[in-house]
Amino acid sequence: MSAITRDEVAHLARLSRLALTDDELDHYATQLDAIIESVAKVAEVAAEDVPPSSHALPLTNVFRADEVRQSLTPEQALSGAPAVEDDRFRVPRILGEEA
Amino acid sequence: MTTTKMSYDEALDRFEPVLGLETHVELGTASKMFCGCRTMFGAPPNTQVCPTCLALPGSLPVANAKAIESTIRIGLALNCSIAEWCRFARKNYFYPDMPKNYQISQYDEPLCFDGYLDVEVGGETVRIEIERVHLEEDTGKSTHMGGATGRIHGADYSIVDYNRAGIPLVEIVTKPIPGTDRMAPEVARAYVTELREIMRSLGVSDVRMEEGSLRCDVNVSLMPRGSSEWGTRTETKNVNSLRSVERAVRSEIERQGAILADGGRIVQETRHFHEDTGTTTSGRSKEEAQDYRYFPEPDLVPIAPDPAWVAELKAALPELPSVKRKRLQAEWGLSDLDMQAMHNADAIDLVEATVAAGAPAADARKWWMGELARRANETGTALAELPITPAHIARVTELVASGALNDKLAREVLEGVLNGEGTPDEVVDKRGLKIVNDEGELSAIIDEVLAANADAADKVRSGKIAAVGALVGGVMKASRGKADAARARVLILEKLGVSE
């Protein structure tokens, strides 16, 4: 049985606003399935006494003081934006497919 | 689907509401949650952004120590347990309000959990259980363009300002609150009011609802009376005043009641509250939690607050507002009703500051709850926003106590201060508002009044002492309110050779 269904891949694509064709869905479903199976192998070697880990380094409490640092200028901030209006980032319609 | 509404009472006759409140508080830190950008409200667009909060490649977040501390203090003030170890999580979603395409939040490991807050409603104490208090980052501000309504629906495109993106945001989530019955709207309001005061007393946020530094999402569901199975809930966003919290709950109860009574189903969704109509409209269908694909934030290491530090923070908490209200009520000798009225008017801190500036409590309360409350009401401003300070009020009460002003003149002084004419002393000078204390001047005015009102003077001479009121009134009028009425009365009786 596959670890991820084609429907689940289609759902993920929709959440990511990716328009995948039927062929692409098949293609990625197969690939993702292989990836999930590979990652699942880790669980086979993890013993009961090994807690799940989310970080490579055994560090906690890395904080910065609440101090203001120089920000970018609006010109710098917007310099890479595909579209700008009124000193703001202009983005395509957000709820396009639901409107 | 029905669009008719059911009356509130009718809905409550048939259904019982269950509430849930999610409150977001923007912390008042100098810099953002994960970078050093300023957090000033109202700055020109995209002037408080940097590679980290714009999610430029290679940037990494580092947590703001002050924000962690403030969140723990909030949790402690809400009687929460503090996590010994917890992590940030990525909440993935597709909206451009975060340039990263995810928001750093907390998921199954909140910094604070399992607390409660007691609120007073209609003389009863209602305990609101707190599920969690977690720390996340605020999102940018989108403006939707091209649509007729300025809303996301129907817009052609949007423009985004990321100044707010990354400001530390604390989310306080209640457990479901059953059993409030007809009081549901009032309980919701009382809870948010109390929360706001706690934030203020902790000094962690300016909690201005109109500027969005305190925002509330209101969850409401209904179940048929006698049932114990909760209904489907809706989440109403955009609730930006205390009054709106109350109205949003009421409106949702009426709307859901009508649908359920018609045999319809409630859709689990986000709804938007509209200030102008007091009603809600449908927003997007709520994404399921799993759709956010939460996972531990790999760019930030876990937080493990030192228990000794947490104990220190707990010991250093300020007196909480409800405790302080009880203490002040006893000190000021006020009834529950009077105290509640002051609380509702947001006058307690102002009166307290006025007393601290030297005024007797009764006088301080009289001015703030009388003249100034009226003025605030007329101009639609909050009491604290009036251009007058507790020190001004204390000075006016001092002038009245010393006999330099009477109440009528004091009101004129306050009006002058409110009109921007300066301090009370400056207004007194500029407007010439001192009581006539000069006996010679007062005597001359009395002589004039007696001459002009011979009938009344005769009546007093013949023993009808009550008639002296008209003469005192004449003196006050002639002096344009500046005479000391009590002194004038004594002098008039003396001049007429009458003793009481």
Phi, psi of A95 (to 5 degrees): -105, 35
Q: What percent of the residues of chain B are helix, what percent strand, and what percent coil, each to the nearest 5?
A: 40, 20, 35
User: Hey, what amino acid is at A78?
Assistant: L
Q: Measured between alpha carbons, how far is B13 from A83 in angstroms, rounded to an integer?
A: 55
User: Would strands B214-224 and B15-26 be described as parallel, antiparallel, or unpaired?
Assistant: antiparallel
Residues of A within 8 A of B142 (CB-CB) are 91, 94
N residues, chain A: 99
Match 């990321």 to its residue by tokens.
B162
CB contact under 8 A, A89 and B96: yes
Q: Is there a domain that residue A26 lies in?
A: yes
Whether pLDDT at A98 is above 60: no
User: Hey, what amino acid is at B198?
Assistant: I
Q: Measured between alpha carbons, how far is A77 from B56 in angstroms, rounded to an integer?
A: 10
Do B84 and A61 touch, CB atoms closer than 8 A?
Answer: no
| B178: CB partners within 8 A, 6+ apart | B16, B18, B230
CB contact under 8 A, A91 and B37: no
**Token duo for residue A81:** 């934006």
Domain B439-495 has CATH 1.10.357.10: no
CB atoms within 10 A of CB B1: 9
Q: Which residue of B has its CA nearest to A76?
A: B50
Q: Measured between alpha carbons, how far is B353 from B348 in angstroms, rounded to an integer?
A: 9
**pLDDT of amino acid A87:** 96
Q: Which residue of B has its CA nearest to A59?
A: B301
CB contact under 8 A, B96 and A94: yes
Q: Is there a domain that residue A34 lies in?
A: yes
Tell me the nearest-neighbour CA distance from B280 into chain A, angstroms: 18
DSSP at B217: E
Q: Is there a domain that residue A16 lies in?
A: yes
Q: Helices in B180-297 by DSSP H: which ranges? A: 184-202, 242-261
* Nearest CB partner across the interface for B298, out of A55, A67, A87: A55
Cα dist from B263 to B75, B223, B253, whole Å:
42, 13, 15
CB atoms within 10 A of CB A57: 7
Per residue in B336-380, pLDDT (tens digit) is: 888 988 988 889 999 999 999 999 999 999 999 999 999 998 988
Average pLDDT value for chain A: 88
**Token duo for residue B463:** 């023993």
Q: Is there a domain that residue A89 lies in?
A: no
CB contact under 8 A, A94 and B145: no
**pLDDT of amino acid B1:** 46
Task: Collect the ranges in chain B with pLDDT lower than 70.
Answer: 1-4, 148-150, 284-288, 436-437
**Token duo for residue B366:** 């009289």
Whether pLDDT at A41 is above 80: yes
Range of the domain at A16: 6-45
* Nearest CB partner across the interface for A61, out of B31, B156, B304: B304
A–B interface: beta-carbon pairs under 8 A: 137
Q: Is there a domain that residue A40 lies in?
A: yes
CB contact under 8 A, A64 and B304: no
CB contact under 8 A, A17 and B38: no
* Nearest CB partner across the interface for A87, out of B38, B44, B95: B44
Q: Measured between alpha carbons, how far is B146 from B80 in angstroms, rounded to an integer?
A: 46
Q: Is there a domain that residue A29 lies in?
A: yes
Residues of A within 8 A of B287 (CB-CB) are 15
Residues of B within 8 A of A69 (CB-CB) are 31, 35-37, 50
Count how many domains chain A has.
Answer: 1
**pLDDT of amino acid B285:** 64
Q: Is there a domain that residue A71 lies in?
A: no
Q: Measured between alpha carbons, how far is B433 from B413 in angstroms, rounded to an integer?
A: 8
Judged by CB atoms within 8 Å, which residues 23-82 of A form the interface with B? 54-55, 57, 59-74, 77-78, 80
Does the predicted interface ipTM exceed a cut of 0.95?
A: no
DSSP notation for B139-174 = --EEEEESSSSSSSTT-SEEEEE-SSTT-EEEEEEE
Do B71 and B111 touch, CB atoms closer than 8 A?
Answer: yes
CB contact under 8 A, B301 and A57: yes
CA quadruple B155, B151, B93, B72: dihedral, nearest 10: 150
| B368: CB partners within 8 A, 6+ apart | B342, B345, B347, B350, B351, B354, B383, B393
CB contact under 8 A, A62 and B143: no
Tell me the nearest-neighbour CA distance from B209 into chain A, angstroms: 24
Tell me the nearest-neighbour CA distance from B48 into chain A, angstroms: 6
* Nearest CB partner across the interface for B87, out of A54, A65, A86: A54
Judged by CB atoms within 8 Å, which residues 65-124 of B form the interface with A? 65-68, 85, 87, 92-96
Q: Measured between alpha carbons, how far is B264 from B287 in angstroms, rounded to an integer?
A: 22
End-to-end CA distance of chain A: 38
Enumerate the β-bridge partners of residue B491: none
Tell me the nearest-neighbour CA distance from A63 into chain B, angstroms: 5
* Nearest CB partner across the interface for A71, out of B37, B67, B304: B37
Do B119 and B187 touch, CB atoms closer than 8 A?
Answer: yes
What residue ranges of chain B are covered by domains with CATH 1.10.10.410?
A: 439-495
CATH number at residue A27: 1.10.20
Q: Is there a domain that residue A72 lies in?
A: no
CB contact under 8 A, A91 and B45: no
Q: Which residue of B has its CA nearest to A72?
A: B50
